[in-house]
Amino acid sequence: MSDTNFKVITAAFSQDLNAATAGLLGAGQRLANDAGGTHIAICCGSIDSTLSTQISAFGDRVIAIDSEPLARAEPEAWLSCLRSISAQETPDAILLGNDTLSQEITPRLAHRLNGASIGDAQSVTIDDGAIVITRSVYGGKAIADIELTASPAVVWIRAQSMDPADKNAAPGTIETVPLNESADLQSHIIDTHDEVSEGERLEDAQIIVSGGRGLGGPEPFEELVSLAKVLKAQNAASRAACDLGWVPHSWQVGQTGCKVAPQLYLAVAISGASQHTMGIADSKAIAAINTDRDAPIFKHCQFGLVEDFQQVVGPLRDKLSDLL
Protein backbone atom coordinates (compact mmCIF):
# COMPACT_ATOMS: atom_id res chain seq x y z
CA MET A 1 0.00 0.00 0.00
CA SER A 2 1.08 3.59 -0.48
CA ASP A 3 -0.34 6.54 1.38
CA THR A 4 1.55 9.77 0.82
CA ASN A 5 -0.41 11.36 3.68
CA PHE A 6 0.71 8.68 6.15
CA LYS A 7 3.06 10.27 8.70
CA VAL A 8 5.28 8.68 11.33
CA ILE A 9 6.88 10.86 14.00
CA THR A 10 9.87 9.58 15.95
CA ALA A 11 10.84 11.54 19.04
CA ALA A 12 14.45 11.08 20.17
CA PHE A 13 15.13 12.47 23.62
CA SER A 14 18.81 11.59 23.57
CA GLN A 15 21.41 14.29 22.99
CA ASP A 16 23.41 12.02 20.69
CA LEU A 17 22.81 9.44 18.00
CA ASN A 18 23.27 6.37 20.21
CA ALA A 19 22.22 2.77 19.45
CA ALA A 20 18.75 3.26 20.98
CA THR A 21 18.09 6.37 18.86
CA ALA A 22 19.37 4.62 15.73
CA GLY A 23 16.92 1.74 16.37
CA LEU A 24 14.06 4.17 17.00
CA LEU A 25 14.80 5.99 13.73
CA GLY A 26 14.98 2.62 11.97
CA ALA A 27 11.51 1.66 13.25
CA GLY A 28 10.06 4.99 12.08
CA GLN A 29 11.79 4.87 8.71
CA ARG A 30 10.62 1.31 7.91
CA LEU A 31 7.03 2.00 9.01
CA ALA A 32 6.87 5.12 6.85
CA ASN A 33 8.45 3.31 3.88
CA ASP A 34 6.02 0.36 4.18
CA ALA A 35 3.09 2.79 4.06
CA GLY A 36 4.64 4.94 1.34
CA GLY A 37 4.47 7.88 3.74
CA THR A 38 6.75 10.37 5.49
CA HIS A 39 9.10 9.93 8.46
CA ILE A 40 9.42 13.06 10.61
CA ALA A 41 12.17 12.89 13.24
CA ILE A 42 11.96 15.27 16.19
CA CYS A 43 15.08 16.06 18.17
CA CYS A 44 16.31 18.58 20.65
CA GLY A 45 18.76 20.80 18.84
CA SER A 46 19.03 23.74 16.51
CA ILE A 47 18.94 23.68 12.71
CA ASP A 48 22.72 23.67 12.50
CA SER A 49 23.46 21.33 15.44
CA THR A 50 25.43 18.10 14.93
CA LEU A 51 22.51 16.00 16.17
CA SER A 52 19.91 17.42 13.78
CA THR A 53 22.36 17.06 10.87
CA GLN A 54 23.10 13.44 11.81
CA ILE A 55 19.40 12.64 12.17
CA SER A 56 18.56 14.23 8.82
CA ALA A 57 20.34 11.26 7.20
CA PHE A 58 17.47 9.04 8.39
CA GLY A 59 14.31 11.18 8.31
CA ASP A 60 12.42 12.75 5.40
CA ARG A 61 12.04 15.78 7.64
CA VAL A 62 13.70 16.73 10.92
CA ILE A 63 12.05 19.08 13.38
CA ALA A 64 14.78 20.44 15.61
CA ILE A 65 13.82 22.32 18.75
CA ASP A 66 16.31 24.35 20.71
CA SER A 67 14.86 24.43 24.19
CA GLU A 68 16.30 24.26 27.71
CA PRO A 69 13.37 22.33 29.27
CA LEU A 70 13.52 19.79 26.45
CA ALA A 71 17.28 19.40 26.83
CA ARG A 72 16.68 18.77 30.57
CA ALA A 73 14.23 16.01 29.58
CA GLU A 74 11.28 17.69 31.31
CA PRO A 75 8.28 15.38 30.73
CA GLU A 76 5.76 18.24 30.75
CA ALA A 77 7.76 20.25 28.23
CA TRP A 78 8.09 17.28 25.86
CA LEU A 79 4.38 16.47 26.24
CA SER A 80 3.38 20.00 25.38
CA CYS A 81 5.84 20.13 22.46
CA LEU A 82 4.77 16.77 20.96
CA ARG A 83 1.13 17.65 21.39
CA SER A 84 1.47 20.91 19.53
CA ILE A 85 3.53 19.36 16.70
CA SER A 86 1.02 16.49 16.44
CA ALA A 87 -1.88 18.94 16.24
CA GLN A 88 -0.16 20.53 13.26
CA GLU A 89 1.13 17.39 11.52
CA THR A 90 -1.69 14.92 12.41
CA PRO A 91 0.61 11.86 12.41
CA ASP A 92 -0.69 8.29 12.16
CA ALA A 93 2.02 6.97 14.49
CA ILE A 94 4.33 8.50 17.09
CA LEU A 95 7.24 6.28 18.12
CA LEU A 96 9.32 6.83 21.25
CA GLY A 97 12.28 5.02 22.83
CA ASN A 98 12.34 2.92 25.97
CA ASP A 99 13.81 5.43 28.40
CA THR A 100 11.80 6.40 31.47
CA LEU A 101 10.76 9.71 29.91
CA SER A 102 9.25 7.95 26.88
CA GLN A 103 7.53 5.38 29.07
CA GLU A 104 6.04 8.15 31.19
CA ILE A 105 4.70 10.30 28.41
CA THR A 106 3.48 7.64 25.94
CA PRO A 107 0.04 7.06 27.56
CA ARG A 108 -0.33 10.73 28.51
CA LEU A 109 0.33 11.88 24.97
CA ALA A 110 -2.07 9.30 23.53
CA HIS A 111 -4.76 10.45 25.94
CA ARG A 112 -4.28 14.11 24.97
CA LEU A 113 -4.47 13.23 21.26
CA ASN A 114 -7.39 10.79 21.64
CA GLY A 115 -5.11 8.09 20.28
CA ALA A 116 -4.03 4.60 21.37
CA SER A 117 -0.95 3.88 23.47
CA ILE A 118 1.12 0.78 23.98
CA GLY A 119 4.61 0.04 25.23
CA ASP A 120 7.44 -2.47 24.93
CA ALA A 121 6.86 -3.04 21.20
CA GLN A 122 9.28 -5.47 19.62
CA SER A 123 8.04 -4.69 16.12
CA VAL A 124 5.78 -2.07 14.56
CA THR A 125 4.25 -2.85 11.17
CA ILE A 126 1.37 -1.83 8.99
CA ASP A 127 -1.21 -4.38 7.89
CA ASP A 128 -4.03 -3.40 5.57
CA GLY A 129 -3.78 0.21 6.75
CA ALA A 130 -3.77 -0.67 10.46
CA ILE A 131 -0.78 -0.32 12.78
CA VAL A 132 0.14 -3.63 14.41
CA ILE A 133 2.68 -4.05 17.15
CA THR A 134 4.22 -7.26 18.51
CA ARG A 135 5.11 -7.61 22.17
CA SER A 136 5.54 -10.28 24.85
CA VAL A 137 2.64 -10.97 27.18
CA TYR A 138 1.94 -13.20 30.19
CA GLY A 139 5.39 -12.61 31.68
CA GLY A 140 7.11 -13.52 28.42
CA LYS A 141 5.27 -16.83 27.95
CA ALA A 142 3.52 -15.69 24.75
CA ILE A 143 3.84 -13.14 21.97
CA ALA A 144 0.83 -11.02 20.97
CA ASP A 145 0.16 -9.11 17.76
CA ILE A 146 -1.96 -6.10 18.71
CA GLU A 147 -3.80 -3.85 16.26
CA LEU A 148 -4.19 -0.23 17.37
CA THR A 149 -7.52 1.06 16.19
CA ALA A 150 -7.46 4.65 17.46
CA SER A 151 -5.20 7.20 15.78
CA PRO A 152 -2.50 8.26 16.35
CA ALA A 153 -0.80 5.11 17.64
CA VAL A 154 1.63 6.27 20.35
CA VAL A 155 4.17 3.52 20.97
CA TRP A 156 7.40 3.14 22.94
CA ILE A 157 9.70 0.49 21.59
CA ARG A 158 11.99 -1.98 23.34
CA ALA A 159 15.69 -1.04 23.26
CA GLN A 160 17.88 -2.80 20.73
CA SER A 161 14.87 -4.68 19.34
CA MET A 162 14.88 -2.64 16.11
CA ASP A 163 17.56 -2.57 13.42
CA PRO A 164 19.14 0.86 12.86
CA ALA A 165 17.87 3.06 10.03
CA ASP A 166 19.46 3.05 6.58
CA LYS A 167 20.87 6.33 5.32
CA ASN A 168 18.55 8.22 2.96
CA ALA A 169 19.66 8.79 -0.61
CA ALA A 170 19.63 12.51 0.27
CA PRO A 171 19.43 14.15 3.72
CA GLY A 172 15.98 15.19 4.92
CA THR A 173 15.04 18.82 5.41
CA ILE A 174 15.67 20.39 8.82
CA GLU A 175 13.15 22.87 10.18
CA THR A 176 12.11 24.35 13.50
CA VAL A 177 8.72 24.93 15.02
CA PRO A 178 8.06 27.65 17.57
CA LEU A 179 7.88 26.26 21.11
CA ASN A 180 5.72 27.98 23.65
CA GLU A 181 8.21 27.97 26.55
CA SER A 182 5.81 29.75 28.85
CA ALA A 183 3.22 26.95 28.56
CA ASP A 184 1.74 26.16 31.96
CA LEU A 185 3.70 23.14 33.13
CA GLN A 186 2.03 21.06 35.84
CA SER A 187 5.41 20.04 37.23
CA HIS A 188 9.06 20.61 36.52
CA ILE A 189 12.33 19.00 37.55
CA ILE A 190 14.23 20.88 40.25
CA ASP A 191 17.15 18.47 40.60
CA THR A 192 18.33 15.04 39.41
CA HIS A 193 20.38 12.39 41.22
CA ASP A 194 22.21 9.77 39.22
CA GLU A 195 21.43 6.40 40.81
CA VAL A 196 23.04 4.27 38.11
CA SER A 197 26.76 3.59 38.33
CA GLU A 198 28.94 5.08 35.66
CA GLY A 199 28.75 3.68 32.13
CA GLU A 200 26.06 3.15 29.58
CA ARG A 201 22.40 2.42 30.25
CA LEU A 202 21.52 -1.21 30.92
CA GLU A 203 19.31 -1.18 27.83
CA ASP A 204 22.30 -0.27 25.66
CA ALA A 205 24.86 -2.54 27.36
CA GLN A 206 26.63 -5.18 25.27
CA ILE A 207 27.66 -7.37 28.22
CA ILE A 208 25.72 -7.64 31.50
CA VAL A 209 26.79 -9.43 34.68
CA SER A 210 23.69 -9.94 36.79
CA GLY A 211 23.15 -11.32 40.28
CA GLY A 212 20.25 -12.80 42.20
CA ARG A 213 19.05 -13.70 45.67
CA GLY A 214 21.29 -16.79 45.67
CA LEU A 215 24.28 -14.50 46.21
CA GLY A 216 23.09 -14.28 49.82
CA GLY A 217 23.75 -10.58 50.50
CA PRO A 218 25.15 -7.32 49.12
CA GLU A 219 28.86 -8.20 49.58
CA PRO A 220 29.08 -10.80 46.79
CA PHE A 221 27.76 -8.14 44.41
CA GLU A 222 31.15 -6.45 44.82
CA GLU A 223 32.67 -9.54 43.19
CA LEU A 224 30.22 -9.18 40.30
CA VAL A 225 31.12 -5.50 39.99
CA SER A 226 34.83 -6.35 39.71
CA LEU A 227 34.08 -9.09 37.15
CA ALA A 228 32.01 -6.57 35.16
CA LYS A 229 34.91 -4.07 35.22
CA VAL A 230 37.23 -6.61 33.63
CA LEU A 231 34.63 -7.45 30.96
CA LYS A 232 33.73 -3.76 30.41
CA ALA A 233 30.22 -4.84 31.30
CA GLN A 234 27.29 -3.34 33.21
CA ASN A 235 25.84 -4.88 36.37
CA ALA A 236 22.21 -5.85 36.84
CA ALA A 237 20.11 -7.89 39.26
CA SER A 238 16.90 -9.81 39.79
CA ARG A 239 14.00 -8.11 41.46
CA ALA A 240 14.52 -10.24 44.58
CA ALA A 241 18.04 -8.82 45.03
CA CYS A 242 16.81 -5.25 44.44
CA ASP A 243 13.84 -5.62 46.79
CA LEU A 244 16.21 -6.83 49.51
CA GLY A 245 18.08 -3.52 49.12
CA TRP A 246 21.34 -5.20 48.09
CA VAL A 247 21.60 -3.11 44.91
CA PRO A 248 19.70 -0.10 43.49
CA HIS A 249 16.33 -0.64 41.81
CA SER A 250 17.77 0.82 38.63
CA TRP A 251 19.66 -2.48 38.27
CA GLN A 252 16.45 -4.52 38.03
CA VAL A 253 15.89 -6.55 34.89
CA GLY A 254 12.61 -8.19 33.98
CA GLN A 255 8.91 -7.62 33.58
CA THR A 256 8.85 -4.70 35.98
CA GLY A 257 12.44 -3.64 35.34
CA CYS A 258 14.64 -3.01 32.30
CA LYS A 259 14.33 -5.06 29.13
CA VAL A 260 17.86 -5.70 27.93
CA ALA A 261 19.36 -7.09 24.74
CA PRO A 262 23.12 -7.54 25.26
CA GLN A 263 25.48 -9.78 23.31
CA LEU A 264 26.02 -11.69 26.57
CA TYR A 265 23.90 -11.85 29.73
CA LEU A 266 25.56 -13.68 32.61
CA ALA A 267 23.03 -14.69 35.30
CA VAL A 268 24.69 -15.54 38.59
CA ALA A 269 22.54 -17.22 41.28
CA ILE A 270 19.32 -16.23 39.52
CA SER A 271 16.62 -18.91 39.32
CA GLY A 272 15.14 -17.73 36.01
CA ALA A 273 11.53 -16.91 36.96
CA SER A 274 9.48 -15.98 33.88
CA GLN A 275 9.19 -12.40 35.13
CA HIS A 276 12.99 -12.19 35.01
CA THR A 277 13.59 -14.04 31.73
CA MET A 278 11.09 -11.92 29.80
CA GLY A 279 13.47 -9.01 30.35
CA ILE A 280 16.46 -10.89 28.89
CA ALA A 281 14.77 -12.72 26.00
CA ASP A 282 16.43 -10.50 23.37
CA SER A 283 19.95 -11.30 24.62
CA LYS A 284 22.15 -12.83 21.92
CA ALA A 285 23.64 -15.29 24.42
CA ILE A 286 22.74 -16.14 28.02
CA ALA A 287 25.10 -17.88 30.44
CA ALA A 288 24.16 -18.97 33.95
CA ILE A 289 25.86 -20.14 37.12
CA ASN A 290 23.55 -21.88 39.57
CA THR A 291 23.89 -24.66 42.14
CA ASP A 292 20.48 -26.11 41.21
CA ARG A 293 20.71 -28.11 37.99
CA ASP A 294 16.91 -27.89 37.65
CA ALA A 295 16.82 -24.08 37.87
CA PRO A 296 14.60 -22.71 35.05
CA ILE A 297 17.36 -20.34 33.90
CA PHE A 298 19.16 -23.31 32.34
CA LYS A 299 16.27 -23.72 29.87
CA HIS A 300 17.03 -20.24 28.53
CA CYS A 301 20.81 -20.27 28.36
CA GLN A 302 23.39 -21.38 25.83
CA PHE A 303 26.10 -21.85 28.50
CA GLY A 304 25.25 -23.23 31.93
CA LEU A 305 27.45 -24.11 34.89
CA VAL A 306 26.04 -26.07 37.86
CA GLU A 307 28.33 -24.72 40.55
CA ASP A 308 28.51 -22.49 43.61
CA PHE A 309 29.18 -18.95 42.33
CA GLN A 310 31.92 -18.56 44.96
CA GLN A 311 33.96 -21.21 43.18
CA VAL A 312 33.62 -19.46 39.82
CA VAL A 313 33.33 -15.66 39.93
CA GLY A 314 36.72 -14.81 41.55
CA PRO A 315 38.80 -17.28 39.49
CA LEU A 316 36.96 -16.23 36.28
CA ARG A 317 37.72 -12.56 36.97
CA ASP A 318 41.40 -13.33 37.67
CA LYS A 319 41.74 -15.46 34.54
CA LEU A 320 40.04 -12.83 32.37
CA SER A 321 42.16 -9.99 33.77
CA ASP A 322 45.23 -11.95 32.65
CA LEU A 323 43.76 -12.47 29.20
CA LEU A 324 42.07 -9.11 28.44
Q: Which residues bind ligand FAD (CB under 6 A)?
A: 212-214, 238-241, 252, 254-257, 269-271, 273, 275-276, 279, 289-292, 295, 308-309
Name the residue nearer to ligand FAD (CB basis): 78 or 309: 309
CA-to-CA distance for 25 and 78, rounded, in angstroms?
18
Q: Which is nearer to ligand FAD, 109 or 202 (CB)?
A: 202
From the CB of 228, what's the least distance to ligand FAD, in Å? Answer: 17
Write down the least CB distance from residue 322 to ligand FAD, Å: 24
Q: Smallest distance, Å, CB 105 to ligand FAD?
A: 22
Closer to ligand FAD by CB, 168 or 275: give it.
275
| Residue number with CB closer to ligand FAD (7 or 317) | 317
Minimum distance, C-beta of residue 318 to ligand FAD, in the bound complex (Å): 18
Identify which of residues 12 and 224 has a Cβ nearer to ligand FAD in the complex.
224
Tell me how far CA of residue 14 lies from CA of 185, 273, 277, in angstroms: 21, 32, 27
Least spacing, CB of residue 241 vs ligand FAD, in Å: 5
Indicate the angle between helix axes 75-89 and 100-112, nearest 10 degrees: 50
